[in-house]
Amino acid sequence: MPTHATTKPGNLMLLRAATTVQTVVVFVQAITAGLLLSARGHGAPHSAGAYTLFGVTVLHLIVAIVTWRRGGGGSPGPALYAAGFLVLTLAQVALGIAHVKIVHIPLGVLMFGLSVLQLVWIWSGGRATGAGAVRA
């Protein structure tokens, strides 16, 4: 993915904030899931967190689209990521309501990993770094 060189600084900060909040909410969901699995009576915080994550994910998608459209024609990557994450969130909510833990728990772990990766990507300016980076 290209760097954020064409994205306006204000828009980039909004995108960074949205991604950061999303990652924090997913992390809190992991904590409430642990509470739910370890003892009875902790379903309300995890359920509230699911609604919160849905709302944050929708806002993240809106911010990503606005950033892309007003950012001077930059990459649609963050908007596509946010749309995909919204789809995963909807699937996760449906699996949670249906009590399909065998898929719900691994999907939650995947979502946390994807959110952290996106957070690192957004805060690094969209540059791939590290041993796994592909050199052009």
What are the pLDDT digits (tens) for 49-65? 999 999 999 999 999 99
Inter-residue long-range contacts of 120-127, CB under 8 Å, 24+ positions, other chains counted: 121/1, 122/4, 122/15, 122/16, 122/19, 122/78, 123/16, 125/3, 125/4, 126/1, 126/2, 126/3, 126/4, 126/75, 126/77, 127/3
Q: What are 120-134's pLDDT values in tens digits?
A: 998 887 665 554 444
Asked whether residue 94 carries a pLDDT value surpassing 70, the answer given is yes
> Looking at the domain assignment, is residue 19 inside a domain?
yes
Its domain, for residue 110, covers 9-123
At 30 the pLDDT is 93
- State phi, psi for 134 to the nearest 5 degrees: -90, 125
Q: Is 3 a member of any domain?
A: no
Q: How many domains does the chain have?
A: 1
- Please say if the pLDDT value at position 81 is more than 50: yes
CA-to-CA dists, residue 53 to 6, 40, 62, 82, 109, angstroms: 29, 22, 14, 12, 14
Let me know if residue 130 belongs to a domain: no
The highest-confidence range among 6-10, 43-47, 96-100, 129-133, by mean pLDDT, is: 96-100
Model confidence at 3, in pLDDT bands (50, 70, 90)?
very low
Q: Is the residue at 2 inside a domain?
A: no
